[in-house]
Amino acid sequence: MVLDQFANHCWNFLPVTKKTVQNYRGAYSRNISHHFGSREMNSISKREFLEVLAPLNPPNYFQTLMMLRVLYREALSRELVAESPVASIRAPRIQ
């Protein structure tokens, strides 16, 4: 499934608060959609995600990573992907 399609499908039923969904949508729009939105979810590598996350400041990196983890966890539960490329990416320290 294409990442943009899956993300837009998921926002309404993620097991998170409404405010968190708003934050995740913003992080997705700012940091992910224009890089990977038109790609199949199973075609995006950990390395590619790391390249996009690396220049972000720690709070933005963290929020974007958490959003990606939630999306890929949902995709895994629906058997749309075999593994999550973001599961083993370390979250930054936030001070």
Q: Is the pTM of this model over 0.75?
A: yes
pLDDT higher than 80, residue 95: no
Dump pLDDT digits (tens) for 23-78: 999 999 999 999 999 999 999 999 999 999 999 999 999 999 999 999 999 999 99
Nearest to 60 by CA among 87, 14, 34, 28: 28
Q: What is the DSSP string of the chain?
A: -BHHHHHHHHTTT-SS-HHHHHHHHHHIIIIIHHHHTTSBGGG--HHHHHHHHTTS-HHHHHHHHHHHHHHHHHHHHTTS-SS-TTTTPPPPP--
